[in-house]
Structure 1
Amino acid sequence: MLYIIVIFFALLIGVAISSFAGRRPSIYNIKFKHSWLLLPGVALQILSNIAEAKGIKFGTTITIMVNGLVFGFVFLVIWINRRYVGLWFIGLGALLNALVMMFNGGRMPVDISLLKDEPYLAKSADLVLRGADNKHVVISSITKIPIFADIIQVPGFLGLGMPLISIGDIIVAVGLFVLCLQFCLYCENIPKKNDIAC
């Protein structure tokens, strides 16, 4: 929910600024190259979720390989589209998340004690506590660089879907905000039948 709210307000502000400047945001402003490279990462995440649902627990090596590949595809797309400043923030946030995960067996450490006793969180919390979650692990005294773990509680409805976030997640949210603004405000001459540029 946090990311959805961030994107919504970024688009709202971007459209307002564009309208005030006498421009109309257009999908032609979005020049995102090779976004299809994200598909393998999405596929790996889906397979990981399916395995998790079936009770299949990945070993540390496989977990590191899977998450390493996912982050690898993300960083590749970010580098290809590096002219967007927002992607640099997203890349930095993703890097911090990847760093703490790789140092902790390929899983993101989570402070379970911060989770409220909500019914919809019970199953997810149980998976983490049993070590059956392929993407998260309970934070403990042996957790490495815990400052970058999921230790920040998201208040209210903003926490739906993401009740706990990391510093990296916050930086990613900033990047999404900046990126959406860029999509709304970035303008380059685009040939049209009536030869009117944006």
Structure 2
Amino acid sequence: MVYDGIILSLLIGWFRGGSLKGLANMKLRGGWLFPLLLAVQFAVFFLQERVAWIAKMSNGIFLLVYIIGLAFLWLNRHQPGFPVIFAGVLLNFIVMALNGGRMPVSIEAAQFLGREYIEALKAGMYGKHQAITSETLLPFLGDIIPLSPPYPRRQVISIGDVVMNVGAFLFIQHLMLSAPRHGADDAEKGTTAAPANQ
């Protein structure tokens, strides 16, 4: 869901006259941590069914990734939108930490994702997710919000995911609009110069 929000933010920033060049001006403390944490998550996701020790440690690894991610966000809390992203990540971390390191998912909300997904979810074999049960703590913070057509991708998201996307949107808008496209600059010059020519 966060990736969807980033793409949407880029499109809106473009239509608002912003420029992708603004992303090049991004200055983050410990910026190298973000791609590293993404790589670790993808690696664990693909290897946990193939490497026994990774499967045993996967929940702990996911929680460690979240803790480091929260530290990274806190270091950059002065950036527009980062406090909001921090809040969203924290909500996801809390519910995962209280439920064995996995994100609880509503079976009812996920029905449209198919029987194979539901069976894997109930068996605890789907990445860092597990089905919500009567023993789940703070289930309302889990993946309980279904997204289906006309939304482009079928998925179930959490309140924390929504909050993170709001923060990412604010940050990307700030970056893109801080470096307007040349066309927007020219248009402004043309409108301001017009009265002088009359």
- Calculate the TM-score normalised by the size of structure 1: 0.75
For 2:32, the aligned partner's letter is W
Deviation at 1:183, TM superposition (A): 1.1
| Corresponding residue number in structure 2 for 1:6 | 5
Unaligned stretches of 5+ residues in structure 1: 188-198
| Corresponding residue number in structure 1 for 2:159 | 167
Q: Does 2:91 match 1:106? A: no
Q: 1:87 aligns with which of 82, 88, 102?
A: 82
Percentage of identical aligned residues = 29
For 1:47, the aligned partner's letter is A
- Which secondary structure state, in structure 2, belongs to the residue aligned with residue 34 of structure 1? coil
Deviations 1:44-90 (CA, angstroms, capped at 9, x unpaired): 3123212344385844xx34421221112211221232222212111
| Corresponding residue number in structure 1 for 2:186 | none
Q: 1:155 aligns with which of 138, 142, 148?
A: 148
Number of aligned residue pairs = 178
Whole-angstrom CA distance in 2 between matches of 1:41 and 1:24? 24
Whole-angstrom CA distance in 1 between matches of 2:93 and 2:33? 18
Change (3 A) 1:159 1:97: farther
- Which secondary structure state, in structure 2, belongs to the residue aligned with residue 11 of structure 1? helix
Deviations 1:149-189 (CA, angstroms, capped at 9, x unpaired): 111111315362x61111001101111111110111236xx
Give runs of aligned pairs for residues 30-179 of structure 1, distance below 5 A.
30-54=26-50, 56=52, 58-59=55-56, 62-118=57-113, 121-158=114-151, 160=153, 163-179=155-171
Unaligned stretches of 5+ residues in structure 2: 180-198
- Calculate the TM-score normalised by the size of structure 2: 0.75
Structure of greater Rg: 2
Please tell me the root mean square deviation across aligned C-alpha atoms, in Å: 2.7
Given that residues 49 and 55 in structure 2 are in contact (C-alpha distance below 8 angstroms), is that contact kept between their aligned partners in structure 1? Answer: no
| Corresponding residue number in structure 1 for 2:182 | none
